[in-house]
Chains A and B, each alone.
Chain A
């Protein structure tokens, strides 16, 4: 698949080209949104918003090769906007309260609880950086772009985050 060619097509208004680009990495987009939103319903809403935004603004992407980091940055920003808005408004449906994705085996394992608990020991920025690096495999440069800070800050967040985790949990395992 030629990313650059597809991006160029999408810039000319070809919706299928954009769709193709997204579908190749659909699991990655979904996981990324899921990390922020915490449930399938909201994650899909965020990805949906993202694809519309991508289509509207793809002409602004100068470096076609950077499509994936660009689009994922937009997705992360979209997730954060939704989260910010939902804390302003109460629109939860009665039926939907405490919604969880029960199709997701991931959420209910004990291990996951440990990880969630583990990550709750570090601050939000550190948690975000750790998740982007270790769960989504992004490099420092991309994480910096996504979270709108310098590479140095990203490195420091990951370093400090790991250090804090070690302080909490490292000792127990006595290695």
Chain B
């Protein structure tokens, strides 16, 4: 009896062993690795020594008033943080904390400081272990009086000897009523065990940076399948957040519809730092995060350059006459039929379009006018041809008869809208 089950599992393994990686495995791995960067950048030791020397001076001198201003700058983060945050740190806008606590395996966590405003809290921290740092440290959450802030994005840098990690992590903003904050973190130990911990440090809400612009927008941009409503903008020294709601059925039919929205300060686009969306019973809300706004601003606009659009096509394409010629979809897009075959699984039609195009209402028909709707799509891959990416996939139809026509009702795609919404200052 024992053997019977194990025998069947072993049989199954034999079958399983016949699965092989797809032919494009190597190409895809190579492609994926191309933009990859190692988190640990080899740096010359001399710089570490220099940093250490500066830190020594800094600690030695901290007692004196004359150093108070410089003391506010969080040292050692220059090559980790760039742009706005670094500028603010240079100007001494951060709050120095300097709280040290022991983690596992002889590693120490030092909370160097925070920079806070109405949009976020940025935590600066250091991990140290003279024997080398093992495992992974993740800041998760900050709690305090009226505060429960979740960690967002962050970055870390390890030194050459792997004895020190400098890190920065962004959290949701904290309450101005919190005088103390507790950082909840988890450590993944070398044996993969996860250990949770917390450390509390003092916080001065009065040292939070002042919000520059905060106002409601309440303006709507019409798109093909609905509308985008911009509700508010909050510009603080560290980041500018635009919030709103989306009511568009085909929002998720293109891969990142929100990327086509820009914030223009004096006519120039402000760098987008990220964004997100979530849906609830009340609808879909989004927030877009841009870099801090320049000072002495004269005009501010939101530009919906591109967003998910829909085009009715009602195309009936004669497969035989078209061949490998590109077929125009609307005014801007193209479709190429690469292959049509009848297999034991059904008729397979391999097509390629621009990356952002998703067809809707696809069916095939033969001379007798018998229509077969699309069953499923398989083997979708992104390809690069002469620098432009396109999306290839195989449409599968539940019929054995080779089709004469392919009918396409419409398509979802990234449509250019170029609508601008002025924000009064």
The answer to whether B21 has its CB under 8 Å from any CB of chain A is yes
- Provide the bound-state CA to CA distance between A19 and B32, in Å: 11
- Known contacts A48-B32, A55-B36, A56-B37; A102/B396 CB under 8 A: yes
The answer to whether A87 has its CB under 8 Å from any CB of chain B is no
- Provide the bound-state CA to CA distance between A175 and B359, in Å: 55
The range of chain A's interface size is 35 or more
Whether A134 contacts B13 by the Cβ 8 Å rule is yes
Q: Chain B contacts of A57 at CB under 8 A?
A: 39
Residue of B nearest to A10 (CB): B38
The answer to whether A145 has its CB under 8 Å from any CB of chain B is yes
Whether B136 contacts A134 by the Cβ 8 Å rule is no
Residue of A nearest to B16 (CB): A135
Whether B39 contacts A166 by the Cβ 8 Å rule is no
Q: Chain B contacts of A100 at CB under 8 A?
A: 376, 378
- Provide the bound-state CA to CA distance between A111 and B40, in Å: 47
Rounded to whole Å, the gap between the CB of B18 and the closest CB of chain A is 7
The answer to whether B15 has its CB under 8 Å from any CB of chain A is yes
The answer to whether A85 has its CB under 8 Å from any CB of chain B is no
- Known contacts A60-B136, A109-B15, A145-B191; A98/B376 CB under 8 A: yes
- Known contacts A13-B42, A31-B16; A148/B193 CB under 8 A: yes
Per-position 1/0 for B6-44, Cβ under 8 A of A: 101111110111111110011011101100111110100
The answer to whether B194 has its CB under 8 Å from any CB of chain A is yes
Rounded to whole Å, the gap between the CB of B82 and the closest CB of chain A is 19
Whether A51 contacts B32 by the Cβ 8 Å rule is yes
- Provide the bound-state CA to CA distance between A118 and B362, in Å: 37
- Known contacts A111-B12, A166-B1; A95/B252 CB under 8 A: no
> Which interface residue of A13, A29, A93, A105 has the most chain B CB atoms within 10 A?
A93
Whether B18 contacts A170 by the Cβ 8 Å rule is no
Rounded to whole Å, the gap between the CB of B37 and the closest CB of chain A is 7
- Provide the bound-state CA to CA distance between A99 and B12, in Å: 23
- Known contacts A112-B15, A145-B191; A59/B38 CB under 8 A: yes
* Interface of chain A residues 138 through 158 with chain B (CB within 8 A): 145, 148
- Provide the bound-state CA to CA distance between A114 and B156, in Å: 48
Rounded to whole Å, the gap between the CB of A80 and the closest CB of chain B is 13
Whether A115 contacts B12 by the Cβ 8 Å rule is yes
Q: Chain A contacts of B28 at CB under 8 A?
A: 44, 47-48
Option from B162, B253, B379 in Cβ contact (under 8 Å) with A93: B253
Q: Chain B contacts of A65 at CB under 8 A?
A: none
Rounded to whole Å, the gap between the CB of A14 and the closest CB of chain B is 10
Residue of A nearest to B277 (CB): A89
- Known contacts A55-B38, A134-B13; A170/B4 CB under 8 A: yes
Whether A15 contacts B36 by the Cβ 8 Å rule is yes
The answer to whether B5 has its CB under 8 Å from any CB of chain A is yes
Whether B21 contacts A30 by the Cβ 8 Å rule is yes
Rounded to whole Å, the gap between the CB of A74 and the closest CB of chain B is 11
> Which interface residue of B26, B28, B136, B192 has the most chain A CB atoms within 10 A?
B192
The answer to whether B393 has its CB under 8 Å from any CB of chain A is yes
The answer to whether A94 has its CB under 8 Å from any CB of chain B is yes
Per-position 1/0 for B152-194, Cβ under 8 A of A: 0000001000100000000000000000000000000011111
- Provide the bound-state CA to CA distance between A111 and B158, in Å: 50
Residue of B nearest to A88 (CB): B278
Q: Chain A contacts of B271 at CB under 8 A?
A: none
The answer to whether A103 has its CB under 8 Å from any CB of chain B is yes
Q: Chain B contacts of A13 at CB under 8 A?
A: 38, 42
Option from A56, A148, A169 in Cβ contact (under 8 Å) with B39: A56
Rounded to whole Å, the gap between the CB of A45 and the closest CB of chain B is 9
- Provide the bound-state CA to CA distance between A73 and B39, in Å: 19
Per-position 1/0 for B385-418, Cβ under 8 A of A: 0000000010110000000000000000000000
Nearest 6 A/B pairs, CB to CB: A30-B21, A95-B377, A134-B9, A48-B32, A59-B40, A26-B21
5 more contacts with CB within 8 A, not counting A95-B393, A145-B191, are: A55-B38, A95-B376, A96-B376, A134-B6, A135-B9
Q: Which residues of B contact A (CB under 8 A)?
A: 1-6, 8-13, 15-22, 25-26, 28-30, 32-33, 36-40, 42, 132, 134, 136, 158, 162, 190-194, 252-253, 345, 358-360, 362, 374-380, 393, 395-396
Q: Which residues of A contact B (CB under 8 A)?
A: 12-13, 15, 18-19, 22-23, 26-27, 29-31, 34, 40-41, 44, 47-49, 51-52, 55-60, 62, 73, 90-91, 93-106, 109, 111-112, 115, 118, 130, 134-135, 137, 145, 148, 162, 165-166, 169-171, 173, 175
